[in-house]
Structure 1
Amino acid sequence: MALETDLHPNALRRAFGRFPSGIAALCAEIDGAPQGIVASSFTVGVSMDPPLVMFAVQNTSRTWPVLRRAVRLGVSVLGAGHDGVCRQIASRDGDRFTGLNVAESGTGALFLEEAALWLECSVEGEVPAGDHAVVLLRVHGYSTHEDAHEPLVFHGSKFRNLSVPEFAL
């Protein structure tokens, strides 16, 4: 067996893209304006006691230094049909929240409507990890939405939807 040894970022991005991941939007109101980023590196269940989740953010992010100042962050786990929302929040230009339906928690955390899961979190810590930082978030509250769309999945550098086949009896 021969392993690929091309560790150039573009080659690694293609290789890592073979692992499907969910997408989460992390949003809050900062100085009266909505701020947000999206993460395909979001992981739930890092710890149950204390309740922790995590994600990774690029060191070059211009939004994370602003967003990390929030007392509470709203994490919205995105579903099918949110691919446009994901692109809009990830955009470097324009108003990232124009036309989006958001809910506010009273603590500044912002949540996207029709998400499968909302988590209200605070930053527990950050760990340097090469060209990223791994951010641990403490969960303070949550809301599940059983009627939400199926999950939005990022795989092979594309948004994909899970579908459940219908079986005829």
Structure 2
Amino acid sequence: MLSSVTIDPSLFRRTLSHFCTGIVVIAGYDRGGPVGFTAQSLVSLSLDPPLIGFSPSKTSETWSRLRNAKRFCVSILSDDQHDVCRTFSRRADDRFTNVGWSNCASGLPVLDGALAYISCTLEAEHDTGDHFFVVGCVDELEVLRSENEPLLFFRGEIRPGLRANHQG
């Protein structure tokens, strides 16, 4: 049951911005071509069966295109992928044009330079206010660059990895 308490949206956003999240690109194919978008809501849900979740906006045109494919791949961005993050954050059909990528074994797009990828089949989608909550069943995954740090989102900004934030 949803709460009847009214929370100011700007206070909600500002408060939750103090929780650091990683940045990923969710990608797949639509009508034969690759499509993808950034997300910062990736969460591990279950080890057995292996499940992940994320929350695309209901206004996301890209998610509406990927939903029909029933399969998607999550590329976990590295701290040297600021430009990739910006590219996939904007509304455009040509996001893959100037970004290196290849297909993983399950045939889905993985971005070059990603720390890791997680290939999934759509398991469920739930209506959660102005977003959906998507559950993916993991089909394949691999760590690609364990020596790098993640690209982070904190206080409304894209930030370098953990080591860069704690040097001194």
**Same-fold call, TM cutoff 0.5:** yes
What one-letter code is carried by the residue in structure 2 that aligns with 1:110?
Answer: P
Q: How does 1:1-40 map to 2 (within 5 A)?
A: 7-40=7-40
Asked whether the 8 Å contact 1:30–1:108 carries over to 2, the reply is no
Q: Residue 75 in 1 paired to residue 74 in 2?
A: yes
What one-letter code is carried by the residue in structure 2 that aligns with 1:18?
Answer: H
Asked whether the 8 Å contact 1:114–1:149 carries over to 2, the reply is no
What one-letter code is carried by the residue in structure 1 that aligns with 2:49?
Answer: P
Q: How does 1:18-167 map to 2 (within 5 A)?
A: 18-44=18-44, 46-93=45-92, 95-105=94-104, 107-161=106-160, 162-163=162-163
Rg larger in 1 or in 2?
1
What TM-score, normalized by structure 2, do the two folds share?
0.88
What TM-score, normalized by structure 1, do the two folds share?
0.87
Q: 1:122 offset after TM fit, Å?
A: 0.8
Q: How far apart are the structure 1 equivalents of 2:109 and 2:145?
A: 19
Asked whether the 8 Å contact 1:115–1:149 carries over to 2, the reply is no
Q: How far apart are the structure 2 equivalents of 1:126 and 1:23?
A: 21
Which structure has the highest helix share of the two? Answer: 2
Q: How far apart are the structure 1 equivalents of 2:120 and 2:65?
A: 16
Tell me how many residue pairs correspond in the alignment.
Answer: 162
Structure 2 unpaired stretches of 5+: none
Tell me which moved more, 139-148 or 158-167.
158-167
Q: 1:108 offset after TM fit, Å?
A: 4.1
**For 1:38-73, what per-residue CA distance to the aligned partner results, in whole angstroms no more than 9, with x for missing partners?**
1101112x1011100000111111111101122421
Q: 1:64 and 1:166, CA in 2 relative to 1: closer, same or farther beyond 3 A? A: closer
Q: How far apart are the structure 1 equivalents of 2:145 and 2:105?
A: 23
Runs of 4 or more above 3 Å deviation: 164-167
CA RMSD, Structure 1 to Structure 2 (Å): 2.0
- Counterpart secondary structure, 1:118: strand
